[in-house]
Structure 1
């Protein structure tokens, strides 16, 4: 990892910001194309670079999706039966991971969004 990929904030240097995001009362949780587009839109909003996207729809329901980014990843796991979408947003460098939150809120039509922020690899 080169120095340019580190995050500096409030006098601290660390490898990246990891947001643990739970969306409750969410919609469109069994719609794989919708979830894939939400990941693309969230990636764009953060200023990250999408390298690849893979998703799998389970039977009878639920989707797991992963956006591989040059700056790390965004993953999504859904439980339509309880209205839950769980995201991990982990990014390094000059990205803005919090910018994904309003995109996800709108895409999944919920105001019940719970976020935990971790700073990974503090130096």
Structure 2
């Protein structure tokens, strides 16, 4: 693979100063208690203190992998404000009782749109904004005991949309 292609895959644009258009990946520290049951290749398998949890969800007698919210924000503001978007994603993770691993955001020019993802232990929250159209598309997918529906109020407060459309999918229903 050529060096420019490899750098592009890492999010580095060689044709412009990418420091102006790309946020850094933010790594959050892990607590030792969170890693108690994690196996690494160097350690190999080890006995777990408690039985393995699969983090599947059971609701209304139906078992599924996770809740996936497809969210459209219409008539929204501050969709080009990188720091505000990052803070909002962090708040969404907190109120959803999820575990943030890292956030990666990219700021596009000239329209100022933002694409990014908050990677979670429970899955992810992704965002893509079109500030010129006052529109944002988000995916909030979480498994386990996380509460992704709690993120909707945070998005309402943060971006003040005139309309929010939410579709809820139960991923993996009938498969797990």
**TM bucket normalised to smaller:** over 0.9
1:41 equivalent to 2:41? Answer no
Query: Equivalent residue for 2:141?
Result: 90
Encode CA deviations 1:36-77: one digit per residue, 9 max, x unaligned: 100000000000000000000000120011000000000000
* 1:4 positional shift: 3.9
1:58 equivalent to 2:113? Answer no
Q: Which blocks of at least 5 consecutive residues in structure 2 are unaligned?
A: 1-51
Q: Matched residues in 2 for 1:100 and 1:31: separation?
A: 19
Runs of 4+ aligned structure 1 residues displaced above 2 Å come to none
Max radius of gyration: which structure?
A: 2
Question: Which structure would you say has the larger RCO, counting Cα contacts within 8 Å and 6 or more residues apart?
Answer: 1
Paired residues in the alignment total 122
- In the alignment, which of 57, 82, 91 is matched to residue 32 of structure 1? 82
1:8 equivalent to 2:77? Answer no
Q: Which blocks of at least 5 consecutive residues in structure 1 are unaligned?
A: none
* 1:3 positional shift: 4.5
SS in 1 for 2:173: coil
RMSD of aligned alpha carbons: 1.0
TM-score (norm 1): 0.96
Query: Equivalent residue for 1:21?
Result: 71
Q: Matched residues in 2 for 1:27 and 1:75: separation?
A: 17
